[in-house]
Amino acid sequence: MQLTSLLVLGAALGAMAVPSGHSHLHRSAHEKREPAFYKAWHSKVGKPAAATPTTAAAAAPAATTASAAPAAVSSSSSSAPVPGFCGNANSNTKRASLADIASKGNTGRDGWGSNIKLIANDAVNKCEYTTIFKNVAQDPYKVICTNKIGPTGLIDGFWHTAMDFTLNPGESKTVAFDGDSQGLCTFGAHEVPKTNWGQLAGTYYEFDFASARNNLWSGADCSSLVAASEPGQPIFGCDACDPDDGTCSTILPDGSGTNSFIAGTAELDGLGINKPPGKASFHVKVGYTG
C-alpha cells in the first residue's frame, strides 16, 4: 500500500485504499493487491499548483487542521480522552456519500484530521484501529500524521499536518484512527525533513484502516520512496509489524528493506501488511537499524 505518487489530478481519487502520499500532482493510480488492497504509485513530481504548505514548521490555518497538536502523552498512561470513534465500528455513518467514502476515505467527521488522534497507551484496547509508535533510536524523533486527501479535497495531504508528536529515545505513543482512514505518518530524527517543494520527506508509515473500498480490510507498509528520490535526504529506519501474525514491513537507514517500498520498487505490488476485517493494531519502530 504505497501512497506516494499522484501524477494525474483526479485520477487518484478513484481508488484510495492503500495510503497514498504526495500531492494532487502525483498520480494515485491504485491497483488492487492481495485480497483487499490498492496501492498508489510513488514518483517524484514538482511543486503542486494549488496546495498550500501546512507543515509542522508553519502554523496551519484554522480551517486546515482538526485542532492544535495534542499535548504530549507519556509512554505509560495519560488522561488524554479516548476519541468518540473508538469502540464504534460504525462511526463512518456521518460522512458524505458512499461514493465520496469510496474515493476519498474518511478524513474526519468533526473537521479535517479529526480521524487521527493521539491517545493514552493504556487505552489502546478501547479503539478498533491503532498504531503504537516506539522510538528505538538514540535521538528524539518527530512524527507527523496526515490523511492522503488534504483539507481542500485534493490529494495533497503530504503537505499538511493532521497531528504531530515527539518521541524521546525509548518512548512509545499510541495513535487511534477512525475507520476508512487512509494516509501516513512520517518521521525523522529531531525534525521531519521536507523536499524543496515543502512535501513531507521523512520515512513514511502508510496506513489504511477498514477500507470501505476494500471490503473493510486494513493494511500498512514502510516507504522511503520520497526520501530516496531527493538527493541528500536521509532515510530513517522503519519497522512496521502486525503482532497478530508477525508480518512486518522494514526499511533500514542504508536504504535497503524487506516487504517495503524502497528505491526502485515504485511499480511493485503486493508489499506491506494486509489484514482481514476486524480490529487492527500495528506496531512501528522508528529509528530502526535492524
The amino acid occupying position 114 is S
- Using CA atoms of 18, 24, 25, 31 in order, give the dihedral in degrees to the nearest 10: 20
Q: Does any domain span residue 274?
A: yes
Q: Does any domain span residue 203?
A: yes
- Give me the half-sphere count of Cα atoms (radius 13 Å) on the Cβ side of residue 190: 1
Tell me the pLDDT tens digit for each residue of 27-55: 232 333 333 334 443 434 444 444 333 33
CATH number at residue 271: 2.60.110
Tell me the pLDDT tens digit for each residue of 204-241: 999 999 999 889 999 999 999 999 999 999 999 999 99
Q: Does any domain span residue 17?
A: no
Q: Does any domain span residue 46?
A: no
Q: Does any domain span residue 4?
A: no
Q: Does any domain span residue 74?
A: yes
Average pLDDT value for the chain: 76
Residue 246's domain spans which residues?
54-286
Q: Does any domain span residue 33?
A: no
User: What's the number of domains the chain is made of?
Assistant: 1
Tell me the pLDDT tens digit for each residue of 119-170: 999 999 999 999 999 999 999 999 999 999 999 999 999 999 999 999 999 9
Overall pTM > 0.85: no
The pLDDT of residue 253 is 98
190 against 102, higher pLDDT:
190
Q: Does any domain span residue 245?
A: yes
